[in-house]
Amino acid sequence: MNKYKNIKRFLIILSIFFCENKQIFAQYTDKWISLKYESVRHKPNRFYFVKVIDERKDKSKIGVVYGLNQVEKSLKLSGGTVKSLQNYFLKSIQKDTSCYPIIFRIKELIVDENVSNQKITGKCKIKVSYSFLRDTTELELTDFQTFINYSRTFGDYNNYETLLSKVVEKSVIFFGDWMRENYDKNEKLVKSLNLIVKSDYEIDNPEKGDTIFWSPTRKISWADFTGSMPRTTKYSAQIFNNFEYSAPLRIENGVLQIALQMKVYMLKSASWTSSTSLSEYSLGHEQLHFDIAKLVVERFKQKAKQILTVDNYDSQLQILFIDMYREMNRLQREYDDESNHSINIVGQQRWQQIANEELRQNGVR
């Protein structure tokens, strides 16, 4: 009976011993290392790493390496991979919040060793991607990967810190070079937007071949209506007016500069009249059609200043153009309906006052 009690007591003591010394055994099978901060000689170019994200499937270790007597050990960064790299960047890169906040995503970070030909060969590899955090939107910029092959003799090895520090340093240098090349070129690096509204195209030189551009100093004449009159029509004249926009852009110090310029024009060959001896009153009706197109363009400019954002400025500008084009067509129809194509003098005068007043408010007249 005492024999069994002694065995039970021994098992309990043995269990307590293993529990209390669990960390000691874990330390024996793990190899902990730290990155060498002093190895970084790179000066960042307009960026800092705001966040490190580890996307590896196995985040518990960097790899499996061989120690004394070829015992396999899990290679780990002190404090964990994410914290270790965050400290590395914090100590090696001066943080300037006016620069670009970059997210450093770890796709692969591994040290892999194999035994062959009486020696140990290994590869230290890193694969990362970089994203720009614009407000709350993450924009993927580029990616990078590199590796270092090495060979060593059997036994413990204490050069892992240097290997890992070198591949991480290469990833920093690569992104610094990428930023230097793409700054002021890549639209993803735009922080804000500045819309510059230029004077309308050819407003000071309104006549150009078949085209007459809207100008406060150049009124249309019946001589501008050179198109062929349709065979079947109940009207005596019709102007073909239209508007377009161009928005070339450039990036300057992280600001997207958009130069918005409008074209408001009539085409002579698409505008027609039954007779060049029609009254000035009738010509005024056609001029007001032209003025309404200009009025809509001024509305376009004002709305463009309000809704443009960095993330989708191009699509918003195109949608605005479509909306304003529809508005122009609607206003032209309403004008013809209320003036009865110039027959209703009161309606004609009312629209003339509306257009003149709005154009004056926009500094056009």
Mean pLDDT by 10 residues, the chain (365 residues): 54 50 52 77 77 96 91 94 93 82 97 90 97 90 97 90 94 93 90 93 91 95 95 92 95 92 97 87 97 98 88 91 98 97 95 96 87
Determine the Cα–Cα distance for residues 144 and 108; give it in Å rounded to an integer. 10
Strands 72-77 and 63-66: antiparallel
Closest by CA to 128, choosing from 115, 113, 146, is 146
Dist. CA 251–CA 100, nearest whole Å: 15
The helix-helix angle for 345-361 and 313-339 (nearest 10°) equals 150
pLDDT value for 240: 97
Tokens 């090895």 — which residue? Answer: 157
Provide the sign of the torsion angle of the four alpha carbons 174, 180, 185, 188, taken in this order.
positive
The two tokens of residue 333 are 């129809």
104 close to 130: Cβ distance less than 8 angstroms? yes
pTM: 0.73
Q: In angstroms, what is the C-alpha Rg of the chain?
A: 37
pLDDT of residue 18: 45
The token duo for 197 is 């509204």
In this structure, how many other beta carbons lie within 10 angstroms of the beta carbon of residue 156? 12
Helix ranges restricted to H, the chain: 2-20, 22-29, 81-92, 160-182, 280-307, 313-339, 345-361
Which single residue is written with the structure tokens 């000071």? 204
Q: Are strands 72-77 and 30-33 parallel, antiparallel or unpaired?
A: parallel
* CB count in 10 Å sphere of residue 75: 21
- Quick check: helix, strand or coil at residue 294? helix
Has domain 28-187 been given CATH number 3.30.70?
Answer: no
Domain boundaries, the chain: 28-187, 192-361
pLDDT, position 26: 42
